[in-house]
Copies of this chain bind each other. A is one copy, B any other.
Amino acid sequence: MAKKKSSGVDQGGATRLLDALRVPSGPVDLKAWDSRATPGFNGTKEEGKIALEALEPEVSDWQERLFAEGRKGGNRRVLLVLQGMDTSGKGGVIRHGAGLMDPQGLRITSFKAPTPAERRRGFLWRIRQALPGPGLIGIFDRSHYEDVLIARVRNLVAPPVWNRRYEQINEFEEELAESGITVVKCFLHISPEEQKLRLEARLDDATKHWKYNPGDVDERELWPAYTEAYEAALEKCNGEKTPWYVIPSDRKWYRNWAVTTLLLETLKDLNPEWPEADFDVAAEKGRLAAT
């Protein structure tokens, strides 16, 4: 028998990527996760880019089914939460992964430092405002997790305040799950060495200067404290229905393929059906023919 040319996607095992990248319950040690690994994919960078493009028809089709369901009374939604250190590629995933989908079915929110008005309303208020409507795929570029990450590392609030937030986040996310939102939380995991290369690249290319912020170097100095804060969040807010996934992200092409594959598997699990006609098809054909 002729061997089929491998596309790079590891089809040997029955393991879904959702299972392979899921953070097990218990303490989290990010050193144990290799940020250059490519679980579920054993091909080259070029094959990885082709594999990503190849997801387009399928992911678009499932997205449209979910959208159609939402238009006909369904209430299910997906929320992709993207977290990671500067340059880990939250924007890149949206551009190259979510960019394969119909933008009408996406609701993308990029969270910056909260405004004073937002702060007064409690840290979850602006998050609730940004939740996707029925049938949509919401994407958060940063999220409520900043309130236990930078807020903790930078002492923006007192320890008892950020300490309480883990439980508040858990209750909030359980509420989301109960209301029909499938939450997919991805930590884009890069090494400090890879971050240095990416920041250097931004400084070396005048068309990327706008992406560089001197504050990025200050944050970089706090790498160990951020790692600790991420480990705490991944451990404490890793519910059965609201799990975390660690995406090895030193290879951009793998990161984009992996997150898009997680989305595709999530949509397939939801298995939205094309809505049935809520009108008499034959009668409508007659009415239309008469015009």
Contact = CB atoms under 8 A, between A and B. Distances in A.
Interface stretch (A153-161, A180-188, A252-260, A274-282): A274-282
B102 A94 contact: yes
A130 interface: no
A284 interface: yes
A41 interface: no
B106 A72 contact: no
A288 B199 contact: yes
Contact of A72 (B210, B214, B274, B279): B210
A264 B217 CA distance: 36
Contacts of A281: 203, 209
Contacts of A95: 102-104
Say how many copies of this protein the assembly contains. 2
A279 B212 contact: yes
Nearest to A209: B277
Interface string A186-210: 0000000000100110010011011
Interface in A99-146: 99, 101-104, 106, 108, 110, 141
Interface in A266-286: 274-277, 279, 281, 284-285
Residue from A210, A279, A284, A287 having most chain B Cβ neighbours under 10 A: A210
Contacts of A224: none
A104 B92 CA distance: 10
A207 B274 contact: yes
Nearest to A280: B214
Interface in A232-276: 274-276
A277 B213 CA distance: 9
A185 B287 CA distance: 33
A110 B199 CA distance: 38
Interface in A217-234: 217, 220-221
Contacts of A110: 104
A206 to B, nearest CB: 6
Nearest to A91: B104
Given A203-B284, A209-B274, A210-B68, A196 B291 contact: yes
A45 interface: no
8 contacts: A91-B104, A94-B104, A101-B103, A196-B291, A209-B276, A220-B288, A220-B291, A221-B291
- What are the 3 closest A-B residue pairs judged by CB atoms, nearest first? A209-B277, A68-B210, A210-B275
Given A206-B274, A212-B279, 11 more contacts: A95-B102, A98-B103, A99-B103, A103-B106, A196-B291, A209-B277, A212-B277, A214-B279, A214-B284, A217-B288, A220-B288
